[in-house]
Structure 1
């Protein structure tokens, strides 16, 4: 098997482990997968004509759904653990489906890679509150000295311009 295929299989395992950790609400273990210099970004999506540009808000100048780092994600996790987070009491049942995992760039002899993937995230709360998020991610992963992978950047693109969910209490 060529080196690229071995790397892809290894990263697919990272993505499936990450999805399991989040679905199982093992947020502290998920946080350990994030590098300290993480950028976690989800722009707003605008409806624009085919002749226009600017479909996505720009980081640093425009509004976004998320513009976070490891510290703020850790604070969100701490808040969820208090049991007093109104949008997660009772907790949601969540399933993530990750697919189309593809390495699109490899740097520093494979120690840093950019990966594209697609996701479907199903969330159910209470008896009848259902949310479905569908989109794409562009991630940068860095191999750590011990051999594991750390997430350095995640760009999340939702395939909807109006958020129909009452809150964004899930992680992508």
Structure 2
């Protein structure tokens, strides 16, 4: 059953927030990007396995199972701080990224002012001159709450990559 949609003005505002967030990432403005996170943020990407139709409910790993990354605000801060040291060899030279966000569905507001937001993404990454580009596709399930410098804070983000096998040499970027 389709959940009730958010009002059009809220839909538009949240879409603009997500596009702004993508712009910060693509411009490598990670310190500003981190300000969009709630203090209790849960930012994670569960693994995905290929399953038969009858086992499809086990396709995405549970929160207690292995994940590509499972970060809180302090972990995100450490990752961003490391990028600034020059010692993050997986990002020397830094990646050039392009985040494309689409199919944004904003659920009606919860009692506490938060919105559940589903979106699809395509993330293109290029490192150096000779490395082949990486392309990631998938969906994100966000919980956004009012606040922060851009009007919303990301309280949680679950990134579900469509790839079961990631051929990229690292996952040192943000989704």
The two structures have a TM-score, normalised by structure 1, of 0.93
1:144 offset after TM fit, Å? 2.1
Which stretches of structure 1, 4 residues or more, deviate above 6 A after TM superposition?
none
Q: Pick 1 or 2: higher relative contact order, CA cutoff 8 A, min separation 6.
A: 2
1:108 offset after TM fit, Å? 2.0
1:43 offset after TM fit, Å? 0.5
1:41 offset after TM fit, Å? 1.4
1:15 & 1:151 partners in 2: Cα distance?
A: 10
1:49 offset after TM fit, Å? 0.5
Name the residue aligned to 1:166. Answer: 169
Which has more strand, going by share of residues?
1
1:77 & 1:58 partners in 2: Cα distance?
A: 26
The superposition leaves residues 115-165 of structure 1 with CA deviations (integer Å, 9 ceiling, x where unpaired) of 000000000011132100000000000112888211000010000100110
The superposition leaves residues 78-104 of structure 1 with CA deviations (integer Å, 9 ceiling, x where unpaired) of 001111111100111111000111112
2:105 & 2:6 partners in 1: Cα distance?
A: 14
Matched, 1:59 2:63: yes
After superposition, residues 33-44 of structure 1 pair within 5 angstroms as: 33-44=36-47
In structure 2, do the counterparts of structure 1 residues 3 and 37 end up closer, same or farther at CA, with 3 Å as the change threshold? closer
The superposition leaves residues 8-58 of structure 1 with CA deviations (integer Å, 9 ceiling, x where unpaired) of 000011001000000000001000000000001110000110111310111
The unaligned stretches of length 5 or more in structure 1 are: none
1:3 offset after TM fit, Å? 7.0
Q: Does structure 2 retain, via aligned residues, the 8 Å contact 1:105–1:115?
A: no
Matched, 1:154 2:171: no
The two structures have a TM-score, normalised by structure 2, of 0.92
The root-mean-square deviation of aligned C-alpha atoms, in Å, is: 1.7
